[in-house]
Amino acid sequence: MLSGAIACIGFTWIASPACTELEVVMMDWLGKMLELPAEFLACSGGKGGGVIQGTASESTLVALLGAKAKKVKEVKELHPEWDEHTILGKLVGYCSDQAHSSVERAGLLGGVKLRSVQSENHRMRGAALEKAIEQDLAEGLIPFYAVVTLGTTNSCAFDYLDECGPVGNKHNVWIHVDAAYAGSAFICPEYRHLMKGIESADSFNFNPHKWMLVNFDCSAMWLKDPSWVVNAFNVDPLYLKHDMQGSAPDYRHWQIPLGRRFRALKLWFVLRLYGVENLQAHIRRHCNFAKLFGDLCVADSRFELAAEINMGLVCFRLKGSNERNEALLKRINGRGHIHLVPAKIKDVYFLRMAICSRFTQSEDMEYSWKEVSAAADEMEQEQ
């Protein structure tokens, strides 16, 4: 409400110094909460810094466009005789077969090829990424970008960043880390092992609006060297110039839209209102609720877990065919008391219990399981 009422259009520092400067500080606060490497933080005095995008899809596209601009410049220096059209036709990016659909969409919008790398137990390994890169190099293509997902949409699986990151560094491929949902958990020290290898990334993104009690839209993105993105997007007409250019970031160069809202304000309110310890407690509570729901599921011999329980997500299914599980989901959602969303990995259809609300209690897990169980009972009675 306050952000809307202040109504600043913060595309330049001069349009609203508070809008820009609070964002710089909030992204440093948030980066320190996650213990991101200093190279990502503006307060380190280096090139790095953070920006609030609207969504993780935007961040993936912005990183891809920055990586594309960087690679085109490098290749032009090596092959001055090649025109830009020739170079763009050779560019290829990579992601896990479990990556979010927005990664594929970023490739379409960026006009480049994206290769899907076969995952192992739902997680991308460094060896598989390296094999794909070497195959493309042998065919005369130019690898330039790879998305490593920490917390996939289907099953909240974590790609091996500590393997994939060094592979990207070795082949001069931009590594973008998409931790849209699970990144919020990295404020808890016990979950930071899942981001091992973060020092090898070029950009990192997660959504405080998904699991850190900040309302939509607030997608936090950090870049080790924002100049590639800034230069890719830099259109500087006279009417947007000001005397303080260069002394503070003009965030219009860090994003696809020109105008932007005062999003740092809501991040400031949440961090000041809750504090780090209360936000950590919120994350831990949800993770415990997921384990509780998982225990209820395993205790019923009709059901099985479809994936390891990670964070606040439980992937489960009725033992048997996909059709049985589709019918079960339709019945659960049709009852109108809880709502579940399905997923499918390697042609195995399963249901996903995602714990999202700050008002969730342990009783809600028991209630939800009774709904699932009752729907399964109804199906059995009708057979």
Among all residues, which ones are annotated catalytic?
Answer: 100
Tokens of 65: 């466009």
- DSSP codes joined into one string, 331-383: HHHHHTS---EEEEETTEEEEEEE---TT--HHHHHHHHHHHHHHHHHHHHH-
CB 242 within 8 A of CB 12: yes
CB 306 within 8 A of CB 316: yes
Region class of 111: left (phi > 0), else alpha (psi between -120 and 50), else beta: left
Q: Cα 155 vs. chain centroid, distance in angstroms?
A: 14
Residue 274 is which amino acid? Y
Neighbours of 259 (CB within 10 A): 11
Tokens of 68: 């594309």
Q: Cα 164 vs. chain centroid, distance in angstroms?
A: 16
What residues contact 203, with CB distance under 8 A and at least 6 apart? Answer: 59, 63, 66, 174, 175, 176, 177, 221, 222, 223, 224
* Among 345, 354, 368, 359, residue whose Cα is nearest residue 309: 354
Cis peptide before 217 (omega within 30 of 0): yes
